[in-house]
Amino acid sequence: MILKKIVLKNYRNYSEQEFFFNDKFNFIYGNNGHGKTNILEAVSYAAFGKSFLGSAESDCVKFGEDEFFIESGFENDLENKDKIVVSYNLSTKTKSIHKNKEKVSAFSSEIFGRFPIVFLSPKSLNITQGNPSERRKFFDILISQSSRLYLDYLKELAKILKQKNALLKNYTVHRKYSDSEFRNLINSYNEKLIDVSSNIIFKRLNFLTEFESFFKRSFSMLNVQDHEASISYFSEALGETDPEGKNPDLNFVRKKTEESIYSKTGEEIKRAVSLAGPHRDDYIFKLQKNETENNSPFELKNFASQGEHKTFLVALKLSEYDYLKDKKFTSPVLLLDDVLSELDESRVSSIISHLKDYGQIFLTTTDKSYSENLKEFYTPKEISVFEIELGKLLN
């Protein structure tokens, strides 16, 4: 998949700017705050329908204007072209998405996953350093891009949890139901929750089994011979899974999920909120230092250094790229937002030396000198350089 061009109108600090991109490497440099990251964020709107930074649409409208437009032109491996237009009106607070001039009514089913992208930015460290919701979000987006069924499960889970939480609040806080009415309703919701939850957990476990080989290859590529890395899955229903072990079958997952959900009913009534299900699970990132006196695995979020976090994250993102390429039969667009400055020189050299193995790449940085390193691996025709200053393209 190649992003051929993008047009920004009243987006962030851009009044109107058109970019034509290289099929290989796009090197974007300039001072902080001048609009480099805004370009990558605009690309994420075409792929995800939202900002990869988590920004609200209202924050993306240029100051003093009422509406932004982002027009993106993609071309796939068969040279089929798609034009995606995303706009947001500040007055009406409405977002509109068109694909090839046809209005998109359901983004998740019509576009999501069609234009795979992988992005890495300093904010991505929330995946390894943040709370469990950041890790669930990362893997949910990744799995959903390759499995529409999984995305449907997530949407059904959100719907059931919303209904169940409303029921718990109405019973515990507002006393709208008798005990017998409540029991009948909560059991009905729990049965639905057990079904969708067990399928989500089962899909996550099987995904990790597949993902492990991609991750280990990416981690070793970063020349981290003194460490081994692993990812396991934790749920209250099953505990922590062994990443090297055999996954349980769906019937076993369902049985344990049922036990977990019903065991929490009393506490859920007291707190008026759902407390059991895959929306509370976590992915456990671990490192193991080789050839040390104490070489037992340790959890990344509690004991790793900043450098270890960054290395693990880069490996995770490169694995995401390889996994999507394998499942989607096309190369994702790789967005690297100011990541080289976050790594030491040996890691930078290692990453740059491997970038040639990837498809279309966008790299933002404040340091123009990195472009010289690229010339060792790319021909002049394969690199386009964009200098950004105050929301304008200078070259």
Q: How high is the pLDDT of residue 311? A: 85
Q: How high is the pLDDT of residue 302? A: 82
Question: Which CATH number characterizes residue 205's domain?
Answer: 1.20.1050.90
Sign of CA dihedral 297, 139, 28, 95: negative
Question: Are residues 276 and 161 located together in one domain of the fold?
Answer: yes
Q: How high is the pLDDT of residue 348? A: 65
**Once rounded to an integer, what is the mean pLDDT over residues 327-340?**
86
Higher-confidence position of 79 and 164:
164
Tens digits of residue pLDDT in 228-239:
889 999 999 999
Q: How high is the pLDDT of residue 50? A: 85
**How many residues appear in the chain?**
395
Tokens encoding 319 = 């694995």
**Once rounded to an integer, what is the mean pLDDT over residues 372-393?**
88
CA distance linking residue 256 with residue 195, whole number of Å: 12
C-alpha closest to that of 62 among 4, 17, 5: 17
**Once rounded to an integer, what is the mean pLDDT over residues 85-110?**
86
Question: Are residues 40 and 135 located together in one domain of the fold?
Answer: no
Beta pairing partners, 337:
364
Name the 3-class secondary structure at 123.
Answer: helix
Give me the residue label for tokens 């350089």: 385
Q: Which of 287, 302, 317 is the C-terminal boundary of a domain?
A: 302
Question: Are residues 163 and 237 located together in one domain of the fold?
Answer: yes
Tens digits of residue pLDDT in 161-213:
999 999 999 999 888 989 999 999 999 999 999 999 999 999 999 999 999 99
Tokens encoding 357 = 């193995």
Q: How high is the pLDDT of residue 46? A: 84
Q: Is residue 278 part of a domain?
A: yes
Q: Is residue 44 a contact partner of residue 52, using CB atoms and an 8 Å limit?
A: yes
Instruction: Flag whether pLDDT at 108 surpasses 90.
Output: no
Question: Are residues 144 and 256 located together in one domain of the fold?
Answer: yes
Question: Are residues 59 and 174 located together in one domain of the fold?
Answer: no
**Domain total in the chain:** 2
Instruction: Flag whether pLDDT at 299 surpasses 80.
Output: yes
Q: Which of 302, 319, 346 is the C-terminal boundary of a domain?
A: 302
Beta pairing partners, 89:
67, 94
Confidence category of residue 109, pLDDT binned at 50, 70, 90? low
Q: How high is the pLDDT of residue 343? A: 60
**Once rounded to an integer, what is the mean pLDDT over residues 77-91?**
89
Residue 156: its H or E element: helix 148-172
pTM, 2 dp: 0.88
Question: Are residues 56 and 137 located together in one domain of the fold?
Answer: no
Question: Which CATH number characterizes residue 107's domain?
Answer: 3.40.50.300
Question: Are residues 175 and 91 located together in one domain of the fold?
Answer: no
Confidence category of residue 42, pLDDT binned at 50, 70, 90? very high
Q: How high is the pLDDT of residue 346? A: 63
Q: Is residue 172 part of a domain?
A: yes
- Mean pLDDT, the chain, rounded, equals 89
Q: How high is the pLDDT of residue 9? A: 96
Q: Is residue 37 part of a domain?
A: yes
Sign of CA dihedral 169, 172, 176, 179: positive
Question: Are residues 146 and 109 located together in one domain of the fold?
Answer: no
In the chain, % of residues over pLDDT 90: 59
Instruction: Flag whether pLDDT at 289 surpasses 90.
Output: no
Domain that holds residue 282: 129-302
Question: Are residues 107 and 166 located together in one domain of the fold?
Answer: no
Instruction: Flag whether pLDDT at 110 surpasses 80.
Output: no
AA letter at 65: E
Helix and strand tally (H, E) in the chain? 13, 16
Q: Is residue 53 part of a domain?
A: yes
Question: Are residues 285 and 339 located together in one domain of the fold?
Answer: no
Q: Is residue 269 part of a domain?
A: yes
Q: Which of 302, 322, 351 is the C-terminal boundary of a domain?
A: 302
Q: How high is the pLDDT of residue 370? A: 78
Instruction: Flag whether pLDDT at 107 surpasses 80.
Output: no
Q: Is residue 316 part of a domain?
A: no
Instruction: Flag whether pLDDT at 342 surpasses 60.
Output: no
Q: Is residue 325 part of a domain?
A: no
Q: Is residue 77 part of a domain?
A: yes
Question: Are residues 136 and 270 located together in one domain of the fold?
Answer: yes
Write 212-218 long-range contacts (CB < 8 A, 24+): 212/243, 214/319, 214/322, 214/323, 214/326, 215/315, 215/316, 215/319, 217/319, 217/322, 218/314, 218/315, 218/316, 218/318, 218/319, 218/322
Q: From residue 335, how far is each of 188, 348, 361, 363, 388 by CA, in Å?
A: 44, 16, 6, 6, 17
Sequence-ordered strand ranges (E) for the chain:
2-11, 14-20, 25-29, 67-75, 81-89, 94-99, 102-103, 117-120, 227-235, 239-240, 282-289, 298-299, 333-337, 361-365, 383-389, 392-393
Question: Are residues 345 and 376 located together in one domain of the fold?
Answer: yes
Tens digits of residue pLDDT in 207-228:
999 999 999 998 888 766 677 8
In the chain, % of residues over pLDDT 70: 94
Instruction: Flag whether pLDDT at 258 surpasses 90.
Output: yes
Q: How high is the pLDDT of residue 225? A: 66
Instruction: Flag whether pLDDT at 153 surpasses 70.
Output: yes
